[in-house]
Amino acid sequence: MLHDISVPVRVGTPEWPGDAPFTCGWTARIAGGSSVNLSCVGGSPHVGTHADAPLHVRDDWPATDALALEAFVGDALVVDVSDAAGGALALDANDPRLGGVTRLLLRTGRTIATGRFPDGWPVLRAAVAETLAARGLRLLGVDAPSVDERTSSTLDAGRYELIAPPQRLVGLDAAPVRAVLRSP
């Protein structure tokens, strides 16, 4: 069974405060006499479900088109942390559930899918992220606007297959993805 965990993107989907909102329109319509319908979209690639490239946080690091596709397809562990308050998560890098995990998805319950940008959300401590990366973590996903502090569908915690390659947008700091989990 496939579970679409992507945030639907439409006009009004919340963007990071100060970022460019999603826009869409039509450049041609059959109803207006054109032979085809042609749509156009605009806005930040950070609106909705997306993959941040290292370029997002450092000028000299790789852009989205350099991201390894293998990081976005394969076994993933979903951990429900929705009962956590804002601030650092009480998730320990030595948690036995995290052994051998290369793709970790945290369900915080602070998603923009509600149509509102949340005031705050729980974040993974840098030391935990660094330890997990040293142990082979290749992808960290959250349903919140960021893995850092500001300055989805209901899904059971457990193991899934993740399929979420980013669009091949050259030279950008983020790219939209259609994130899907497959039940084992």
Active-site positions read: 56
**First and final C-alpha spacing in the chain:** 8
- Which residue, among 183, 171, 174, has the nearest Cα to 145 in the 3D structure? 174
Residue 125 tokens read as 């401590």
CA distance 26 to 176: 20
Residues 6 or more apart whose CB falls under 8 angstroms from that of 94 comprise: none
Paired sense of beta strands 38-42 and 122-123, if any:
unpaired
Residues 6 or more apart whose CB falls under 8 angstroms from that of 81 comprise: 89, 91, 106, 107, 108, 122
Contact 162, 183 (CB under 8 A): no
